[in-house]
Amino acid sequence: MRISKYGNLYQLTLLPRLFPVNCYVYEEENELTLIDAGMPASFKGIVQLVERIKKPLTNIILTHAHGDHVGSLDQLKQHFPNVAVSISQRDSRLLAGDLTLDAEEPNTPIKGGFDKNLKTIPDRLLNEGDRIGSFEVISTPGHTPGSISLFNTTNRQLIVGDAMQTKGKVAVVGQLVPTFPFPTFGTWNKELALYSVKKIYELQPSLVAVGHGKVLEYPKDLVKQAIQDAEKKLVNV
């Protein structure tokens, strides 16, 4: 597993060249927060990093419910029984296997893979504006109905899950990137995904960290270009 560090934020990447799957550990003053749980094979690297930093892992926050973001969750909960697990209120239904849509939501099928054998029940259900440590919850639906991003209010770092991808190309999720199309295959609604990335741009983050691909350390122009590319493609559909 590759580990990259950006201030107090650690990016852990499984299969970095072939099929990068990222999760993130943020080091607070007295504790650690894990954002996303990657694949089952991510477990060992996460535990090793936590032990290396020598601070307690107190929170796991899931950006959404897809299997490649919750893959080691059960193992982690067993290893760290006191850790609090959080996910958006909307995506908690997906985590439980309920793929039904609300009446006001776009009537397009929810896509992507889900772990049907997951045993962990979230301790906290999140909504826009909720806070966990240094992070504020930002609602960024599109990839799934309840996808969230985590905005660090101390340094403006933003962890966006699969709202965007940087593997293959910096793109709004749902826009096909031929060299790495998999996030597109799992995206529920392209229009909402574009709206969410516009919201991300307005936050003017100092860094954008994604689920698949490298961190964007100077994201402003790259995020703006991704928005423009997505707008052109949606107009021409």
pLDDT in the model for residue 233: 84
Residues of the chain with pLDDT under 70: 236-237
What is the per-residue pLDDT across 75-109, written as a single tens digit (0 to 9) for each? 999 999 999 999 999 999 999 999 999 999 999 99
CATH of the domain at 221: 3.60.15.10
Q: Which residues contact 225 (CB under 8 A, 6 or more apart)?
A: 170
CA 181 vs CA 63, 118, 230: distances in Å: 20, 26, 15
Q: What is the dihedral of CA 53, 54, 56, 62, to 10 degrees?
A: 20
What is the per-residue pLDDT across 115-137, written as a single tens digit (0 to 9) for each? 999 999 999 999 999 999 999 99
Count of domains for the chain: 1
Q: Amino acid letter at 158?
A: L
Domain that holds residue 192: 2-235
Rg, C-alpha atoms of the chain: 16
pLDDT in the model for residue 234: 83
Q: How far is CA 107 from the centre of its chain?
A: 23
